[in-house]
Amino acid sequence: VKMPTVLGLEGSANKIGIGVIRDGEVLSNPRHTYVTPPGEGFLPRETAKHHKEWVLKVLREALVEADVLPKDLDCIAYTKGPGMGAPLVSVAVVARTIAQLWDKPIIPVNHCIAHIEMGRLITKATNPTVLYVSGGNTQVIAYADRRYRIFGETIDIAVGNCLDRFARVLQISNDPSPGYNIEKMAKKGKKYIPLPYTVKGMDISFSGLLSFIEMAANTKIASGECTAEDLCFSLQETVFAMLVEITERAMAHCNSSEVLIVGGVGCNLRLQEMMLVMASERGAKLYATDERFCIDNGAMIAQAGSLMFSSGLKSARKEELFEDSWCTQRFRTDEVEVTWRN
């Protein structure tokens, strides 16, 4: 079977990324990140403005680097959701426009599923239990009966959001990402400050922990009881232990021999190290990717779009697909029927 050539567009958070995939090969995957000043997060309106400014440059780069012309593409895939409304729309508009202009089928992709499929493609994991951790999402997922089922998830904020907001309290740089700079500081931490450990059955909570460590930053650093580095270290150790615990329980339930970490927080080497200890003790294998693929990118949308196209949407009418090319801030992982796996 000839695999299609697919262009994928992603912009559900603060990165605009466009990639081209053919036969599971990444032909191009450029990306541009909206970086805010220290102490500031990214807001929907400004993030959408960033994407609008960059989307055509990134699109041209994706096509040139892949050495493909619009006529070589079989379909256009874009992020339908979940994500921030205005950034999602700013990219969906471009996807709809080029699909019309170039007369291509348009494929709406679930962002979380794109992370899972990109992780499976790059690492060759076949049926892993998945930990998906990013600035907007925290879920433990496993495949069963044509769905990616959510075994556990955050009941308030995402783990990446917890790290990002703590970075803001410390006024750490957001370049290249707040999480990367927390990871760097955590390596210099020596003293573990006990923090609330909030695992609730298979679910997990971070907002109380964030309030607690924000207060600790305001009191314990000034009093000399600990350093900012100690707090970064303690925060990582605590939240990653919580994530590894619920992942292990899902693996035990599913009798998994593979665990895959995806999402922006997934490039954190300390998280990978802690997960590896757990996986090794269970006789399971750990799979993870580097920042090119675990951070939001266009190729992952192209890969999920490619699987959806080949396993059914190929026979859909272009007009019908176009009618269905909307986006939504809320779109759960288990809403999608996984037509490409048995």
Q: Which residues are annotated as a binding site for a divalent metal cation?
A: 111, 115, 132, 296
**Number of neighbouring beta carbons within 10 Å of residue 10:** 30
Site string for ligand NAG, 204-243 (x = CB under 6 A): ----------------------------------------
Q: Is residue 293 within 8 Å of 301, Cβ to Cβ?
A: no
Alpha carbons 71 and 1: distance in angstroms, whole number: 20
CA Rg value for the chain: 20
Task: State whether residue 227 is helix, strand or coil.
Answer: coil
Q: What minimum distance in Å lies between the beta carbon of 259 and ligand NAG?
A: 13
* CB nearer ligand NAG, residue 255 or residue 315: 255
Contact 339, 311 (CB under 8 A): yes
CB of 117 to ligand NAG, least distance (A): 23
Enter the DSSP assignment of 244: H
Residues whose CB is less than 8 angstroms from the CB of residue 224 and which lie 6 or more positions away in sequence, other chains included: none
Map residues 18-57 to x or -, x wherever contact with ligand NAG holds by CB under 6 A.
----------------------------------------
Which of 257/272 has CB closer to ligand NAG? 257
The amino acid at 96: R
Contact set for ligand NAG, span 124-163 (CB under 6 A): none
Cβ proximity to ligand NAG, 218 vs 280, nearer residue:
280
Burial of 118 (0-12, 13-18, 19+ CB in 10 A): buried
Residue nearest to ligand NAG (CB): 255
Q: Which residues are annotated as a binding site for substrate?
A: 132-136, 164, 179, 183, 268
* Nearer residue to ligand NAG within complex by CB, 56 or 144: 144
- Judge contact between 206 and 161, C-beta under 8 A: yes
Whole-number minimum distance, CB 131 to ligand NAG, in Å? 19
Question: Minimum distance from CB of 199 to ligand NAG (Å)?
Answer: 25
Pairing relation of β-strands 106-110 and 31-33?
unpaired
Q: How far is the CB of 258 from ligand NAG (least distance, A)?
A: 9
Closer by beta carbon to ligand NAG, 219 or else 255: 255
Contact call for residues 275 and 259 (beta carbons, < 8 A): yes
Residue whose CB is less far from ligand NAG, 52 or 249: 249
Q: How many helices (H) does the chain have, and how many strands (E)?
A: 11, 13
Q: How far is the CB of 256 from ligand NAG (least distance, A)?
A: 8
Site string for ligand NAG, 244-283 (x = CB under 6 A): -----------x-x--------------------------
**Beta-bridge partners for 20:** 7, 28
- Interatomic CA distance for residues 273 and 267, integer angstroms: 11
Residues of this chain that interact with ligand NAG (CB under 6 A) are 255, 257
